[in-house]
Amino acid sequence: MKFFFACAFLGVLFSFTLAFINKHQKKANKLLSVCLLSIAAYVFHLASINAHLYYKFPAIYAVLLPFQYLIVPTAYLYVRCFLKGNVSFRRRDWVHFIPFILSILLYLKYYFTTNENKLIAIDAADNNFSFHFAETDMLLPVNLLVVIKITLAFTYLFFQWKLIKEWLIEIITAPNIYKDIFSWLKAFTVLISLFIACYAFANLVACYAKSTSINAVILTTEYGLCFSFFAILLNLFFHPKILFGMMGNIVFYALNKKQGQITNKEQVIRLEELVPSKQMAEELIAEEIEGEEPEDDSKVFSLTPEKVTEYKQKLENLMTEQKAFLIHGCNLKDVALALAMPRHHLSIIINSEYRVNFNDFINKYRVEFLKEKMLEPESQQLTLDGLAKEAGFSSRATFFRAFTKFTGETPSDFLKKASKSA
């Protein structure tokens, strides 16, 4: 049972990390935190029965059982929160917590009964594995309660997989930054499905099987539950952008185009108009994000695939047609102003779609420009330093380093090869 207790401890640890340490995507993190905490509570309950822990602490028996009714609703709401564009928790969403509240009410008699009666219930669960899942002596018949639990679980799974299916259609055109996030959401849904499959099987066996040989079957199923939970935690550990918020405010992706897109005033500022229009562009962006709190996920911008394509086209036009990279000291802020887009959007586009940072993005264009320039006859009289400055490089060292990085050879070697081939 050490493995069960270890998984429960890790689940609580990850839950608190999402709730209190990770300061980004608060709505989604709270839902995932509650989901992990609920699974941890249920796994701890099963471990406590098998390890005879409740004999020492009979007062807490059945305290953790209601948490089983929070697992699938919070898992579904968490996935919905991401795939529907950071949907806020609505008043009608409290209906998802009704089974949890009713379960607490049904267990009130256990909470207020004497320790002797609790020990009787604990002894029954300890001696008969079917009592680990079959909630007997409730207001509802055991058979009906099992049917309700399994129906609820698979209903939520159905709608969760429906969301994932919608995403699978959209992922072809989705930006790369979303693909890492969605791979986690898909893995999370698969593992939750395995957890619920084990949970449903154990409930059915506990309710309908009469042979004492079911003890080994149910214990194996409990290990299946625990391993599914451990796989969720392990998968989450390898997605630090979700667990710790290492990517900051991840932009949410909305499948619903009308809800996912936001209405912005857009104005393309051409390169030659950059200086006189700088104040105008700054006012435009300031107006676009006015009143936005960095930690308020309700105001995080949504980037749809269409918006990403549009931004990429504008960015590439600015580089290829207007040759913005030739400007000395060209930085992320200047390019964002020229495109009239928020800087964090531009940074996300460059990092996720081109897999480079801003400096490498600009320097790659400069190197390609130089490769053509160096082969022109009129450039033979210019020094490499002069060519580098013409391409926008601020120093000789930066020029040599970038040229070598993107061509695999020094500028001198490149010229030698070019002269031989000529």
Q: Where in the chain is the domain with CATH 1.20.1070?
A: 2-243
Tokens 């102003």 belong to residue? 337
% of the chain residues with pLDDT over 90: 27
% of the chain residues with pLDDT over 70: 79
Question: What was the pLDDT predicted at 8?
Answer: 96
- pLDDT tens-digit map of 256-273: 443 333 333 333 333 333
Domain covering 2-243, topology:
Rhopdopsin 7-helix transmembrane proteins (1.20.1070)
Residues 6+ apart with CB under 8 A from 322: 270, 271, 272
- pLDDT tens-digit map of 69-115: 999 999 999 998 877 755 667 788 899 999 999 888 888 878 888 88
209-242 burial, b at 16+ Cβ within 10 Å, e below that, comes to beeeebeebbeebbebbbbbbbbbbebbeebebb
Q: Higher-confidence residue: 121 or 279?
A: 121
Binned at pLDDT 50, 70 and 90, residue 177 comes out as low
Q: Higher-confidence residue: 23 or 289?
A: 23
Q: Which two tokens stand for residue 66?
A: 């209601």
Q: Which two tokens stand for residue 119?
A: 């020990």
Question: What was the pLDDT predicted at 283?
Answer: 42
Rounded alpha-carbon distances, angstroms, from residue 120 to 43, 55, 105, 110, 212: 22, 10, 20, 11, 19
- pLDDT tens-digit map of 344-395: 888 888 888 888 888 899 999 999 988 888 887 776 667 777 888 888 888 8
Query: Residue 8 class from Cβ within 10 Å (0-12 exposed, 13-18 middle, 19+ buried)?
Result: buried
- Alpha-carbon dihedral sign for residues 377, 380, 381, 386: positive
Give the CATH superfamily of 259-421: Homeodomain-like (1.10.10.60)
Q: Where in the chain is the domain with CATH 1.10.10.60?
A: 259-421
| pTM (two decimals) | 0.61
Binned at pLDDT 50, 70 and 90, residue 34 comes out as very high
Mean pLDDT of 187-209: 92
